[in-house]
Amino acid sequence: MASYAIIGGTGLTELPGLSIREAINLETPYGMPSADIIKGEFAGSEVLFLARHGHPHRIAPHQVNYRANLWALKQLGAEAVLAVNAVGGIHRDMRTGQLVVPDQIIDYTWGREHTFFAGDMEHVTHVDFTHPYDEALRLRLIAALRECGCSHSEHGVYGCTQGPRLESVAEIARMERDGCDVVGMTGMPETVLAREIGLPYAALALVVNAAAGKAPGPITMAMIEQALQQGMGDVRAVLAEFLAD
């Protein structure tokens, strides 16, 4: 059985039901991860859990040390990664509360440390990123969603923006023209870094608001927090079903 790592996003700085055996503070060649990595048991499986934004939630999306996070999980024995993301809905089918298993991603970020292959290298290294997410993991997540009966989408293009601000109406219109279905701030470079170090990676995204211009009125943090509280129970149920399989 693979050793799974779960990267929790906004709304999942803790994993209720996780039996903690050890909290590991691990320095990497790229600095410190966002938080101690929790080693324990969840749904009958050994897992590693890392809060992407720290615990408590304190690290903005553009300041997450994605390289340290992925490197540390790999060093501690992770063989695959399940990432949880909070996103905004762009496509009309991506309603608040919907769970999405993305199959493609577009990167709109800038200035982030986005690769392990940098600096004084002996040769240039390229990785294939045609299909950003591991298909076997995606299919298992989809099976878990079906088993749990959660409202979900089995495909989606994740557009990753810089943050920490939300997007303008014009920016969301541009992203929609580009083919994006949901918008978030943490999908990149996390997804490609996992690919670079050979970690199969898939994401489970929770839609917590309609993106700018897709609903009347402004987007408030109160709306997002309410959606997170309502939706994270489904996220935990899907993760438990996935791991129990």
- Which of 237, 132, 140, 123 lies closest to 189 in space, CA to CA? 132
Determine the Cα–Cα distance for residues 60 and 184; give it in Å rounded to an integer. 12
How many whole angstroms separate alpha carbon 196 and alpha carbon 7? 17
Determine the number of helices (DSSP H) and then strands (DSSP E) in the chain: 5, 11
Task: List the binding residues.
Answer: 10, 52-53, 185-186, 209-211
Residue positions in the annotated binding site for substrate?
Answer: 185, 209-211
Give the residue from 204, 209, 188, 200 showing the smallest Cα distance to 64. Answer: 188
What are the Cα distances from residue 197, in Å, to 10, 22, 81, 184, 192?
Answer: 24, 24, 12, 23, 9
Question: Do residues 132 and 80 make contact, with C-beta atoms less than 8 angstroms apart?
Answer: no
Residue 172's Cβ-side half-sphere holds a number of Cα atoms within 13 Å equal to 21
Annotated binding residues for phosphate, as ranges? Answer: 10, 52-53, 186
